[in-house]
Copies of this chain bind each other. A is one copy, B any other.
Amino acid sequence: MKARITVTLRAGILDPQGRAIEGALRSLGIAGVASVRQGKVFDIELEGTDRGAAEAALKDAADKLLANTVIENYRVEVVG
């Protein structure tokens, strides 16, 4: 099974990297960029076929390690 966990910064947390990218895009002449926020994705291959179990394991992985829930939100999708 394949899954993707997407981790993004919570609203209100300052994202210096996103800011810098915003500036860089503008100076590259890319028009109309109002804001950029950077996050992470984890593409995970899982053994087994039980979707429910997989989702539980992934949520566990995100809570325990992949996201720092003080500043980050995450989303788990089993994609196939």
List A29-49 residues whose CB lies under 8 Å from chain B.
30-48
Kindly state whether residue A69 has any CB partner on chain B within 8 Å. no
Given contacts A6-B41, A25-B61, could you give 12 more A-B pairs where the C-beta distance is less than 8 Å? A18-B42, A28-B64, A28-B65, A31-B57, A32-B47, A32-B54, A35-B44, A35-B45, A38-B40, A39-B40, A40-B40, A40-B41
Q: How many copies of this chain sit in the oligomeric assembly?
A: 2
Residues on A close to B: CB < 8 A? 6, 8, 18, 21, 24-25, 28, 30-48, 53-54, 57, 60-61, 64-66
A46 to chain B, nearest CB (A): 5
Contact, CB under 8 Å: B43 / A8: yes
